Amino acid sequence: ERPVILVDLYATVLELCGLPTRDGLDGQTLVPLLRNPEMDWGSPVLMTFGYENHAVRTDRWRYIRYND
C-alpha cells in the first residue's frame, strides 16, 4: 500500500536473487519494506507523464502539476 517507483524493482529483484548490484544503480531495493511493511519509508515518489506534467507523492500527500 506504499507508493514506489518502477526503477526500484530492478534493485529489489537483484537483492532477492542474491545478485550483486553495480555502483551508481538507479533505484533502491524495496526488500526492507517487504520485510516490514509498517516501517517508515519516507521516500517520495516522483513521476512525470506527458509533456511537463509532474507529480510528487508520499503516503499521505500528493502534489500534481499539469502543463496547462
Does any domain span residue 59? yes
Cα separation of 23 and 54, whole Å?
Answer: 28
- Which pLDDT does position 14 carry in this prediction? 95
CB 1 within 8 A of CB 45: no
pTM assigned to the model: 0.71
DSSP 31-52: HHHHH-TTS-----EEEEETTT
Within the chain, how many helices (H) and strands (E) appear? 2, 3
Does any domain span residue 1? no
Count how many domains the chain has.
1
pLDDT averaged per 10 residues, the chain (length 68)? 86 95 88 90 86 91 92
Range of the domain at 47: 7-65
CB 41 within 8 A of CB 27: no
Does any domain span residue 47? yes
